[in-house]
């Protein structure tokens, strides 16, 4: 396996902690890069990106806005491991350090072209690396792109009812019809994960939506030996299309990631709609709840699943400060719900004063006449060592992930209020 040393940039630009925001922004834009390591005395003390600097006072020193907890990678690290680290932490670049010395910088773009050459042996479709690279290249050319995210319905149940051999036939049949339906002049397709596929297209939103409808109808009509008619279906989420304002200082890889995330969430919500096709613009972008008299915005909810393992990420904002919680583990049974709850709690813990703490006691779902509700029971520990049970509930709407986070937030609101009042 190839290593980071083969792909890293060794002609390095850096910043100093005392430099101003204006000076560093100018350096970033002049060289068309998204971030710089911050060095002091030859050692890395931080990283700063264009996103960190936007909106900051022009003469503010970089040391006040830089990221201090810097992840690094060795030049001997495998490129797959380096990319996985960047993907899991949602960062675009890593300083390459050899025995304490900065020797290079490696970015997602540096690795994607190589990783994109790897294809799925079952379907002969490329993995997501190719799709991400192609999408970023199209954006660099000034092209408009959309992402179609195709998520097969209840594929785990297909495997359980008809066996994994039939499940493999479903995957290959869907891959074949998707490949036959796309236009190589405007579309790039990949197998994104187990039962998920993605397409990046330069079609107009109208024709991209028509393509989604055509693909869904073809998937539903798919005849797979060993499975009864109608056993295969899918939901499709769409994100992107023509922008309403001109982009400035665009970070292409991050934009592609955002489009994929929005299309993936839209596909989840589409499962509860009649058409089973949904554009991300039809989703609520922000949900607000009231903790302790302040306003918390849920900025991002993401649950990625691969080979039965999931990674849940929840990003919240309070008074302009964003915090992120992440949880990883099995998604079997109700594991996916638990990961979302744990990620939400880890985000909120940033606002909990020591020694307050909270843990999950139970997660339950209740059928209702108008739908279904989810209940999160937490146990809270106070400085007086007394424990209290806190309950939060929410109705399932179009997005079940959002409902779980909202129920957890309602429970955590009571915890935050209690911390303000002091020990019981």
* Model pLDDT, residue 65: 92
Query: Residues of the chain with pLDDT > 70: what percent?
Result: 86
In the block, which residue shows the tokens 């925001």?
21
Does residue 9 register a pLDDT over 80? yes
Look at residue 127 and tell me whether its pLDDT is greater than 60: yes
Say how far apart CA 192 and CA 254 lie, in whole Å: 17
Q: Which pLDDT value is given to residue 244?
A: 44
Which pLDDT score is estimated for 243? 54
Token couple for 229: 């008619």
pLDDT band at 203 (very low <50, low <70, confident <90, very high): very high
pLDDT at 285: 42
**How confident is the prediction for the chain on average, in pLDDT?**
82
Which token pair is 199? Answer: 């397409």
Task: Give the tens place of pLDDT for each residue, 53-64.
Answer: 988 999 999 999
Place of tokens 């690795």: 111
CATH number for the domain whose boundaries are 4-106: 3.10.580.10
Q: pLDDT tens digit string along 340-380?
A: 888 988 888 887 777 777 788 788 777 665 567 788 888 87
User: The whole model's pTM is what?
Assistant: 0.47
* Residue 374: predicted pLDDT: 80
**pLDDT on residue 76:** 92
More confident residue, 75 or 253: 75
Query: pLDDT tens for residues 221-274?
Result: 998 999 888 889 999 999 987 554 444 445 677 788 888 888 988 888 888 777
Higher-pLDDT residue of 412 and 339 is 339
CA of 305: how far to CAs of 148, 329, 339, in Å? 18, 10, 11
pLDDT score of 422: 58
What CA–CA distances, in Å, run from 59 to 16, 20, 28, 35, 66? 14, 5, 16, 18, 14
The answer, yes or no, to whether the previous bond of 355 is cis (omega within 30 of 0) is: yes
In this predicted structure, the answer to whether residue 37 has a pLDDT above a threshold of 90 is yes
Of residues 143 and 421, more confidently modeled? 143
Percent of the chain predicted with pLDDT > 90? 29
Q: What pLDDT score does 246 carry?
A: 44
Rounded Cα distance between 238 and 278, Å, is 6
Q: Angle of helix 128-140 relative to helix 252-270, nearest 10 degrees?
A: 120
Question: Considering Cα of 270, then 275, then 280, then 285, what sign does the dihedral take?
Answer: negative
Residue entry with tokens 């424990």: 387
CATH topology of domain 287-421: Double Stranded RNA Binding Domain (3.30.160)
pLDDT band at 1 (very low <50, low <70, confident <90, very high): low
Structure tokens that stand for 111 in this block: 């690795």
**Residue with tokens 């396996």, as numbered in its chain:** 1
Q: For position 36, what pLDDT does the model report?
A: 92
User: 331-343 pLDDT, tens per residue?
Assistant: 666 677 888 888 9
Q: What is the pLDDT of residue 290?
A: 41
Q: How many CA atoms lie within 13 A of 5 on its CB side?
A: 7
pLDDT of 301 strictly over 90: no
Alpha helices in 95-146 (DSSP H): 108-115, 128-140
* Tens digits of residue pLDDT in 158-202: 888 888 899 999 999 999 999 999 988 899 999 988 889 999 999
Cα 78 to Cα 392: distance, rounded to the nearest angstrom: 44
pLDDT at 333: 60
CA pair distance 104, 102, nearest whole angstrom: 6
For 87-121, write each residue's pLDDT tens digit. Answer: 778 788 899 999 889 999 998 888 877 776 667 87
Given a contact cutoff of 8 angstroms between Cβ atoms, the answer to whether 58 and 22 are in contact is yes
Average pLDDT over residues 326-333: 79
Long-range contacts of 125-130 (CB under 8 A, 24+ apart): 125/175, 125/179, 125/189, 125/190, 125/191, 125/197, 126/189, 126/190, 126/191, 127/190, 127/191, 127/192, 128/190, 128/192, 128/193, 128/198, 128/260, 129/83, 130/188, 130/190
Question: What φ, ψ does residue 112 adopt, rounded to 5°?
Answer: -60, -40
The pLDDT value recorded for residue 283 is 63
- Quote the crossing angle between the two packed helices 335-348 and 400-421, to the nearest 10°: 40
Helices (H), 141-204: 155-162, 164-181
CA–CA separation, 221 and 159 (whole Å): 19
Instruction: Please report which confidence band the pLDDT of residue 288 belongs to, taking 50, 70 and 90 as the band edges.
Output: very low
Q: What pLDDT, on a 0 to 100 scale, did the predictor assign at position 247? A: 47
Kindly indicate the confidence band of residue 217, based on its pLDDT and cuts at 50, 70 and 90.
very high
Write the CATH number of the domain with boundaries 116-282: 3.30.70.270
* Sheet order of strands, 296-306 included: 287-289, 296-306, 309-318, 321-330
Residue 413, pLDDT > 50, answer: yes
Q: Residue ranges of the domains in the chain? A: 4-106, 116-282, 287-421
What's the order of all strands across the beta sheet hosting 371-381? 357-368, 371-381, 387-395
Instruction: Please compute the mean of the pLDDT values over residues 286-300 and round it to a whole number.
Output: 55
Residue 275 reports pLDDT greater than 90: no
What ranges make up the beta strands (E) of 167-295? 187-193, 196-201, 234-240, 277-279, 287-289
Reported residue count of the chain is 424
Q: State how far the Cα of 139 lies from the Cα of 103, in Å rounded to an integer.
A: 30
């Amino acid at each position: 396996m190839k290593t980071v040393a083969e792909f890293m940039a060794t002609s390095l630009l850096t910043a100093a902690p005392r430099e101003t925001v204006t000076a560093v922004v100018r350096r970033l834009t002049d060289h068309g890069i998204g971030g710089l390591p911050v060095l002091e005395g030859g050692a890395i003390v931080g990283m700063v990106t264009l996103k960190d600097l936007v909106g900051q006072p022009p003469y503010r020193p970089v040391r006040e806005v830089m990221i201090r907890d810097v992840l690094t990678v060795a030049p001997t690290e495998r490129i797959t491991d380096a990319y996985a680290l960047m993907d899991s932490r949602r960062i675009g670049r890593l300083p390459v350090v050899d025995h304490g010395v900065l020797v290079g910088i490696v970015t997602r773009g540096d690795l994607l072209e190589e990783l994109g050459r790897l294809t799925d042996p079952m379907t002969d479709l490329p993995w997501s690396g190719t799709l991400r690279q192609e999408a970023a290249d199209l954006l660099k050319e000034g092209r408009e792109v959309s992402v179609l995210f195709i998520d097969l319905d209840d594929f785990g149940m297909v495997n359980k009812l008809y066996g994994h051999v039939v499940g493999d036939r479903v995957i290959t049949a869907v891959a074949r019809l998707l490949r036959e339906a796309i236009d190589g002049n405007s579309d790039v397709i990949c197998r994104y994960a187990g039962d998920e596929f993605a397409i990046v297209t330069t079609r107009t939103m109208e024709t991209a939506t028509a393509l989604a409808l055509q693909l869904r109808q073809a998937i539903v009509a798919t005849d797979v030996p060993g499975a009864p008619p109608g056993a295969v279906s899918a939901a499709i989420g769409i994100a992107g299309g023509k922008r309403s304002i001109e982009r400035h200082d665009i970070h292409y890889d991050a934009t592609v990631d955002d489009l994929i995330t929005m299309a993936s969430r839209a596909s989840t919500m589409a499962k509860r709609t009649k058409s089973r096709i949904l554009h991300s613009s039809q989703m609520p972008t922000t949900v607000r709840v009231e903790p302790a008299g302040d306003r918390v915005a849920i900025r991002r909810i993401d649950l990625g699943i691969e080979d039965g393992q999931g990674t849940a990420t929840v990003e919240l904002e309070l008074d302009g400060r964003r915090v992120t919680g992440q949880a990883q583990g099995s998604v079997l049974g109700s594991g996916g719900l638990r990961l979302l709850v744990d990620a939400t709690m880890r985000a909120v813990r940033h606002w909990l004063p020591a020694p307050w703490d909270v843990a999950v006691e139970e997660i339950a779902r209740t059928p209702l006449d108008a739908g279904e509700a989810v209940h999160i029971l937490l146990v809270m520990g106070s400085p007086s060592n007394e424990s209290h049970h806190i309950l939060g509930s929410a109705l399932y709407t179009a997005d079940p992930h959002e409902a779980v986070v909202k129920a957890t937030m309602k429970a955590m609101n009571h915890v935050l209020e209690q911390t303000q009042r002091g020990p019981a």
